[in-house]
Structure 1
Amino acid sequence: MVRTLDARTSQGSNGLYSLTPSFTNGVPILFAQVALQVNNPGPFVRTLFAGIVELTANVLPVNGDLVIEVYRGLGASQQLVYRAGTIVVADQFFSPCVFSFTGSEYNVPTAGSSQIIYSVYATFSYNPLYNVSGLRLGPESFNATLYSDD
């Protein structure tokens, strides 16, 4: 039987206002972080997660790349568990760019841990010849649910 251990949401923006700081070319921005509580887990623990990032591309002279990375942990102890990306088309017709993602991690290690932390970064890269600002629109959110088998 499957049991839900915890579920959390990190919402940086609901999409009503532009976000600051904006993206710096090729520099990851931490946009979400959740700490899931682990109480009496069964033998197999897994996490299902989903998120969304929205940015504008109408000021871009060339296409860019948006990459989302989900890590388990904080700081130098982080373990990459998910990575996805998309091309952001530099055209008002395709702006804003809404990128949603869904992923999972199976056999999550829980030994000696009372919580499992997930940190989510977004990196936007574009031609370095251009200086672009005001790209982050929102919404930016991340949802994670921790399950265990009994």
Structure 2
Amino acid sequence: MIKTNKDFKSDIDCLANNIYNFYLDTLKENNYRIFAKDVNFKLDEVDEYELNAFKKCFKVYLKTDAQFRKTKHIKSDCLSVSLPDFYNNYYTVNFIIYKDRYSEYGKKYLDDVFNLFVKNIEYRVKNKEKINKGE
């Protein structure tokens, strides 16, 4: 389950919310599958396969609390993803931004991160359309 919080304390929280909104809108248009393998039936909500594939694709920006404590990155409380592990225990990954790059480049870095998410999601959607058409 992907959750977002509407309390924006910083630009990073706003970025996380924009990524969340873009990803969910694109998911709804594409049968809730972008990064995971397509299914032949209609889905009503995003499932764990899609969320795990999303996390795997953006593992640089999605870290667990234990991984976050080892670094000096900036964590956003605005975007978190709950995922089941092998034993069906849930763990949460949060959206993070690299502190050193953010302090060096500022809003330009945040724009680059958002563009990276958008380009990757759009590329996956376009690639799925090609596969479904048989090109």
User: Which protein is richer in strand relative to its size?
Assistant: 1
TM-score by length of 1: 0.26
